[in-house]
Amino acid sequence: MPPTEPEKKKSFYATMIVLTVVLLVVLLTCVPYLVTIASAEGPAERSAADASPIFGVTIPQGYKQWELVAPAEEAAPLDELRAVVGNQTAIDAYQAGTLPFPDGTILVKRAWKRKQSPEFASATIPGAATTVQVMVKDSKKYAATGGWGFGRFINGRPVDEAQHRTCFACHEARARSRDYVFTRLAP
């Protein structure tokens, strides 16, 4: 026996309710995920004010998720804990033992003041962030500085030109034989 008109309406409403619930579940599941992705990527372009003087280097998007190259500890007077991370090009070059590093390599050094752990007296933990330092390999653009562009940032803003003028001289004097890079891959 064919369904009656009220049964058809009842079935239609039940189908619509199920579809609405499914749509809401999909939206409530996907939207936060998409918002997270969009906010992690951040703005597509950065202004000139965000770039380092001389080199035009900016803090790379997503660098906090990059693979660790090596940690370090800087003694007084800086008293810092540091971690160098690299993009995939850098990590591949380190793992293959490639020198010089290929164009497209980006290394980022994050630094924090050292402080004693409140939970474990003999442990040192990161305190306040001090700097983010960036090296970008582009052998044509930065030919005069060994193929590297430099950026040093405090609170997300580049430091002055005078500080940037010291970057290459320091790297050249101490790490020329390793393509001007101090950090070695941690075992």
Is the same domain home to 62 and 148? yes
Is the same domain home to 34 and 66? no
Residue 3 confidence class, pLDDT cut points 50, 70, 90: low
Hunting for tokens 């690299």 — which residue is that?
Answer: 86
Q: Is residue 187 part of a domain?
A: no
For residue 24, give its domain range.
Answer: 1-41
Is the same domain home to 6 and 86? no
Q: Is residue 183 part of a domain?
A: no
Is the same domain home to 92 and 2? no
In this prediction, residues 45-70 reach a mean pLDDT of: 92
Q: Is residue 113 part of a domain?
A: yes
Is the same domain home to 91 and 156? yes
Q: Is residue 186 part of a domain?
A: no
Q: Is residue 55 part of a domain?
A: yes
In the chain, % helix, strand, coil (3-state, to 5) comes to 40, 25, 35
Is the same domain home to 5 and 64? no
Is the same domain home to 125 and 154? yes
Is the same domain home to 147 and 58? yes
Three-state SS at 36:
helix
Backbone φ and ψ of 16, nearest 5°? -65, -40
pLDDT tens, residue by residue, 117-160: 999 999 999 999 999 999 999 999 999 999 999 999 999 999 99
Which amino acid, 26?
Answer: V
Report the domain count for the chain. 2
pLDDT tens, residue by residue, 27-42: 566 545 444 444 444 4
Q: Of 81, 63, 187, 73, nearest to 135 (Cα)?
A: 63
Is the same domain home to 139 and 164? yes
CATH code, domain carrying 153 = 3.50.70.20
Hunting for tokens 């630094």 — which residue is that?
Answer: 111
pLDDT at 41: 40
Q: What global pTM score does this model have? A: 0.75
> Is the confidence at residue 161, as pLDDT, over 90?
yes
Q: Is residue 96 part of a domain?
A: yes
